[in-house]
Structure 1
């Protein structure tokens, strides 16, 4: 699998044209923030919707958009968006062509290719405003050009860009730019001709854009109009381009706005930390697509409604299709009273987990009579332990010898934890508000539902199979991400996959193998004690979506190579495979979690045998490095 392809790549907006983007787009709170008349830096993992959002700001996409909020959004946008795409294949093509060029020529070549690419994107925007209209034209951002005015605009632009189109039309300019790009790549392989060609190319794309939009605006009498340059996947652009665009956030003609999208893996982002560089809140607004569960729930609801159209689930709430998760079912009036679900779980856990009984003794609480707790203890202890009790109750095996040995074993029967990892709330949590993940998993659930005998039933077992399949695919994707990082264990391969495995080991030891605690460790804090290679693996994880920031998700962590103090957790997407609770928990220093032998010592300390037999799915990922 090509790591550039990513996870659920078939739902990548890169493959969609403007009208297709509009048909599949569901707005979010983050998108509304992106609309503002200001420079924006859109930050998120792959699949988090960056490309989709930027493409939606194109004139044709906004014009074609049929949504309840579409008209209000169209009215508030005072600029025309120029979408500049990028992809890994394009970057590799540039690097391959420039590989044998001299150092100074390499930089000129990269900038010339990129400027030509931007110029072509600008002409595409001009065409959307004039000739390339959607099938249902609502008249948004429409410019009527007669042939004489169009010809004059194109003559001016051609002279400015040193082009010689066969026809002075927007289509003629576009073809001339296609030819120029091809000539650049061909000339890079020849011993002569490149210097002359580079002399006719622009290397300052921002100035080239300003010249062209000035000619266009002047010709149509739009004297105070604004334009928005939208650059996608900036992390894979050449370093010269990254630095150019980052610096453009600080001082550029007021007619231009910038919307830059990137994943937190770019090396050239250090320019944002320069003393004289642009700063968040002053020169641009950072919009993080790493969302917290409460914020993503509303977006998931809207996306589900969109995806279920035309299916038997169209007019049903998602909870009618998937039901609630085991930990989100509406509670009875007394869930901790006799017969209540948390009281029953407490009674069962007390029989197989002596550490739970010892924990309650600290507060003089009876595991069989939780309703007798004082009001203060109900708030501070009893109500907080319910999900942890429920998780351990399911995962720990009832062992007749427990009372003698003081040990508990992880259950190793063949039953699957479908009740733990099924339900609407689980779908919202494991997809992390990531539209590509949600789309892939939700469509699979809907397909399974329609394929059932009744066309309506979707059992918890079927749901779990879908979540488990997605988790496996994601871990396979993680394993393809290359890294030069040495192993964080004693020998073996290093990189992101190893780091994820070690963290899974540590967190499962904490939540299941250790003594019962009110708030188990399920997240980590990056501290001074980790290596640069491990930091790189963390950035790889943020890029892939394997790590999720905890707390203030709008914090400007993505542009600093110093991650110290950042709190992160593993994505909930892998929980159905790794048997981890869908909780953040408290954090611990990463250097402590990665200390050699820390997990093994933890197991011995809590009396857990190393020969525990695990669920077959867990053996595949070597949960305890056995």
Structure 2
């Protein structure tokens, strides 16, 4: 199975800034991130962390022409400095440590030096952007200032001394080139140290005298030189750290401590995966000013209504519709059709009847299941429900209707479970498509574009259910293939397992499927799980890797990343993108202990004992 190539093409790390801006839509997540406060942005792969950070850069805000963009430009009272991750240098330094050839103290200093150099590179780009108009941008002069050549050279001269750069041309291109050479030098000197028996920190400082530069002080002073030169001494800057989970742990502790401190010049906005070394950091242990505390922002949706709202905005941006109009729902349903569950409820936790207009739509499912499933017939009798007249107790009917339809499809006329010939109805239509995407921008846009492309190719005005199911199923297959191939060692985030990630996910999914189809019918079937105290560290590490890749979704209330140091007592469900593969409905209600699931699955897998009689 090929990797999800068309999804990776919507990875913001590889996209042109203009393309990121053109496809961007606002959300409550952006509002929570954009303010003049420190922020911790937590989300799995593809959840939009990079896009959200990059939209805080002046260049992005200059290109942005959304009706709300001007309000954001006025509200964002700082200059964003985007600091991308550099997996290459991290892997290089890690390889030296893995071979046991690099002194641990030297390893720590080399890692920090490489990271700090990348921060300096980002600062230089941000300073240059403040002095340069963005061509063809609707707001080309946003945050643009001017400096005479001599004043600019004086600022750069001070920065070169501060950052211990030598032999540098006093221009932005000169500093960029010097910092590139420094990064190469760090890698080169690291290799030299490896071949020095008994090397120590003193040997490192002789080769790399700038190895212990303090990042915050060096950045703050450099920005201060610039602000003084342009006459804006009180202006503020935001360091936008992406994929911070791969940064050396000692630096993580230093930088994340800044989230709970007050700096008149620098704001910190840090994006990272839910699980990794960073979850060992207790931010509450740092001194904090309650007025200037950080704001955590989690990038997954526990509520289907929130998912639908965000996906509606994404859709509107792609079909040039007004995302503020309620008409987008009608357009979405006209384009994709209405999902089978749409008339029940779009919020699985809300069982309040939406109307009295039942119109007999679900009666066929109830009547059919009643005929072939004795346990369901007994349930209806106990609840005094007439399958041919479902307008009596809409609260309970609406709660069970999706499970009734799903169970009916998988049970044959004789009452024996069967594989349905066609179950695409459960995964197609606007509501189902948006729900399956999880509100994950990369997943949603990737699937949407393939559907629209196929539809245009066939000169159709709507997206047939067959096309929807094909593209969703293809994405699910590719996603499962990726999960099956995940490495068992994720050393940069401190997660190592002995068993494959997908095997555990399938065991959980199989358990849920059997409970829905093979067990007696119940008003509520478990479709989420709680990580209870009986779970091993091995299983928990597998779950953490799955969480980082979006394969499970946390349904517990959470405040910040430290909660994910241990997943015990947290509630999760499987990602809806796995539902077509695991034959599950798009619901996550009622939890069950994960240890119960695993014991049941292990008992089922155990070889049958022969008779002792």
TM-score by length of 2: 0.88
184-193 or 37-46, which moves further after superposition?
184-193
SS at structure 1 position matched to 2:432:
helix
1:170 Cα deviation after fit: 1.9
Provide the rounded CA distance (Å) in 1 between the counterparts of 2:105 and 2:498: 38
**Residue 330 of structure 1, CA deviation:** 8.6
Q: Offset of 1:127 from its aligned partner?
A: 1.1
Residue 21 of structure 1 is matched in structure 2 by: 20
Q: Contact conserved, 1:321 with 1:458, CA < 8 A, in 2?
A: yes
Distance in structure 1 (CA, Å) of the matches to 2:401 and 2:546: 31
Specify the SS of the correspondent of 2:268. Answer: strand
State the Cα distance separating 1:88 from its structure 2 match: 3.1
SS in 2 for 1:249: helix
Residues 41, 298 of structure 2: 8 Å contact kept: yes
Give yes or no for the alignment of 1:360 onto 2:374. no
Aligned-residue offset at 1:514: 0.8
Indicate the residue corresponding to 1:34 in structure 2: 33
- Native 8 Å contact 2:516 2:525 kept in 1: yes
Q: Distance between the aligned counterparts of 1:470 and 1:562, measured in 2?
A: 31
Structure 1 partner of 2:368? 348
**Which of 159, 162, 168 is the matching residue for 2:161?**
159
Which residue is 1:393 aligned to?
408
* Aligned 8 A contact 2:280 2:562 in 1: no
| Pair 1:561-2:565 in alignment | yes
- Quote the Cα distance in structure 1 between the aligned partners of 2:460 and 2:121: 48
Q: What CA deviation, in whole Å up to 9, does each residue of 1:236-294 have, x standing for no partner?
A: 11112211211222235321110000011212331226634779997311100011321
- Quote the offset at 1:15 in angstroms: 0.7
Unaligned runs of 5+ residues in structure 1 are: 400-407, 486-491, 605-626
With over 3 angstroms needed to count, the CA separation of the structure-2 counterparts of 1:365 and 1:329, relative to structure 1, is closer
- Deviations along 1:373-430, one digit per CA (max 9) or x if unpaired, are 4xxxx0442232221211112221112xxxxxxxx222335x2212221101011100
Number of the residue aligned with 1:325: 339
SS at structure 1 position matched to 2:426 = coil
Cα distance in 2 between the residues matched to 1:176 and 1:596: 61
In the alignment, does 2:209 pair up with 1:199? Answer: yes
Q: Are the counterparts in 1 of residues 261 and 289 from structure 2 also a CA contact under 8 Å?
A: no
Cα–Cα, structure 1 residues 235 and 599, in superposed 2: closer, same or farther, change >3 Å?
same
Alpha-carbon distance in structure 2 between the residues aligned to 1:74 and 1:551 = 34
The SS at the match of 1:41 is strand
Distance 1:53 1:496 in 2: 28
State the match for 1:91 in structure 2.
90
Picking from 242, 251, 257, the partner of 2:261 is: 251
The residue aligned with 2:499 is: 494
* Distance in 2 separating the partners of 1:463 and 1:39: 41
Counterparts in 2 of 1:273-284, with a 5 A limit?
Answer: 275-276=285-286, 283-284=293-294
Which one is further off, 183-192 or 37-46?
Answer: 183-192
Relative to structure 1, the CA distance from residue 281 to residue 396 in structure 2 (aligned partners, 3 Å threshold; closer, same or farther) is farther
Cα shift readout 1:33-79 (whole Å, capped 9, x = no counterpart): 11111110000110000001101111111111121111110010110
Kindly indicate whether the alpha-carbon contact (under 8 Å) linking 1:511 and 1:520 is maintained by their aligned counterparts in 2. Answer: yes
Aligned pair in 2 of structure 1 residues 41, 334: CA closer, same or farther (>3 Å)?
Answer: closer
Q: 1:12 to 1:300 in 2, by over 3 A?
A: same
Q: Secondary structure at the match of 2:140?
A: coil
Q: How many residues align?
A: 576
1:229 has 2:239 as partner = yes
Q: Does 1:422 align with 2:428?
A: yes
- Which shifted more, 96-105 or 386-395? 96-105
The residue aligned with 1:609 is none
- Alpha-carbon separation, structure 2, partners of 1:188 and 1:285: 38
Partner SS for 2:285: coil
Secondary structure, aligned partner of 1:11: coil
2:486 is aligned, of 475, 481, 487, to: 481
Tell me if the contact between 1:484 and 1:533 (Cα under 8 Å) persists in the aligned partners: no
CA distance in 2, matches of 1:395, 1:315: 31
Write the distance in 2 (CA, Å) between the matches of 1:347 and 1:217: 74
Matched, 1:383 2:398: yes
What SS does the corresponding residue of 1:436 show, helix, strand or coil? helix
SS of residue paired to 2:533 = coil
Checking the alignment, whether the CA contact within 8 Å between 1:523 and 1:569 is kept in structure 2 is yes
Confirm whether residue 130 of structure 1 aligns to residue 131 of structure 2: yes
The separation in 2 between residues aligned to 1:37 and 1:391, in whole angstroms, is 48
- Structure 2 distance, partners of 1:279, 1:462, is 54
CA distance 1:354–1:475, change in 2 (3 Å): same
Structure 1 residue 364: Cα displacement:
2.7
The match for 1:260 is: 270
1:110 counterpart residue number: 111
Task: Please report the TM-score for the alignment, with normalisation by the length of structure 1.
Answer: 0.86
With 465-474 and 359-368 compared, the bigger mean Cα shift is at 359-368
The unaligned stretches of length 5 or more in structure 2 are: 197-202, 322-327, 346-353, 491-496, 609-613
SS of residue in 2 equivalent to 1:521: coil
Conserved? CA contact 1:98–1:188, under 8 Å? no
